[in-house]
Amino acid sequence: MTASIVGWAHTPFGKFDAETVESLVVKVATDALADAGISAEDVDEIVLGHFNAGFSPQDFTASLVLQADPKLRFKPATRVENACATGSAAVHQGIRAIASGAAKIVLVVGVEQMTRTPSADIGRYLLKASYLPEDGETVGGFAGVFGKIAQSYFQKYGDQSDALAMIAAKNHKNGVANPYAQLRKDFGFEFCRAESEKNPFVAGPLKRTDCSLVSDGAAALVLTDSETAKTMGKAVNFRATAHAQDFLPMSKRDILQFEGCTVAWQRALAQAGIQLSDLSFVETHDCFTVAELIEYEAMGLTPRGQGARAIKEGWTQKDGKLPVNPSGGLKAKGHPIGATGVSMHVMSAMQLVGQAPEGMQLKNAKLAGIFNMGGAAVANYVSVLEPAK
């Protein structure tokens, strides 16, 4: 690969009434440039990942990045969107600009502000990432879509409530050590497993602890070509990237397969010349716990229908054979749509250079896998990262 990450920034994720999309963008853009040790005038291109879909009244947001520094004026700036995979779409777009020779340094920003939206509208806006002719009337919005997926999985492979609760408990426990996480509380398996007033059923077999959080937040990366990266203070190289887009209607595919996820992983691993077992850890898209469960199977960690083995046998714990979501994942960290994919890359890069927060840092992390998903396994992005030699 030709691209490297040489700087980053990340706001905490959460509910921030005093922030705006603009202020979040300005904050991470400024901090990422400072972290990379470069000036705004060194930037050749800007890519902004921002889903919006109604969350922010300000649309046409690409130029908001210019508010970070007057020297960014007249730089090419483009907003990209691909549902919940918007952040990775922005990262991959920046990589292509470098690979083509059109840019040497690219500033990538991902942002979303969701919490100002009335709760009744949140589900409606998120449901825009589904196929409306089939799913537009789904009760519970996007949670309802994944509730149906979970119900179908249970019908085919048996009740997986224990596995889902274990995934939720794992990710919440991991999130305690992540200062950027929205919810830093170790709930434990029993709380996540039992229905209660504080953990009611939301959709199908999914409870509140099975669902990622509505969030505000932003993250940013500075990308450059690998030769330039050698002159920088730190660098994390892209060993592989892959993007597989699947049909939008779930009726046109086996939704329990997450086939686009499988294809993206297969392409990325082949490009990197490695096997899944070579990875030190994975940051994966646990918008709902059932998504992480199926992703175990789609990435090839277990056979189909046996994803529960990975969590029940401890494989995906921080001390397991393939730690999954040491950051706490979307489950604990939060899921500001446009920022999520960029955040995954920041969290992974920090691990690889030994700069992850204390308690979150894994020992001897050499290879990171990232899977970011838009819709119900529609937009599927995988990145494989390694520290620069």
Task: Quote the CA–CA distance of 290 and 257 in Å, as a whole number.
Answer: 12
From residue 290, how far is each of 223, 227, 245, 375 by CA, in Å?
33, 41, 20, 14
Q: How many CB atoms lie within 10 A of CB 154?
A: 16
Q: How many CB atoms lie within 10 A of CB 159?
A: 11
Are 29 and 7 within 8 A, CB to CB? no
Task: Quote the CA–CA distance of 52 and 59 in Å, as a whole number.
Answer: 7
Q: Which residues are catalytic?
A: 84, 335
Are 64 and 109 within 8 A, CB to CB? no
Q: Which two tokens stand for residue 39?
A: 């000036």
Q: Which two tokens stand for residue 187?
A: 């709930």
* Adjacency order of strands within the sheet including 45-49: 77-80, 45-49, 105-113, 216-225, 3-10, 236-245, 379-387, 368-374, 281-283
Task: Quote the CA–CA distance of 376 and 142 in Å, as a whole number.
Answer: 9
Q: Which two tokens stand for residue 333?
A: 């960290």
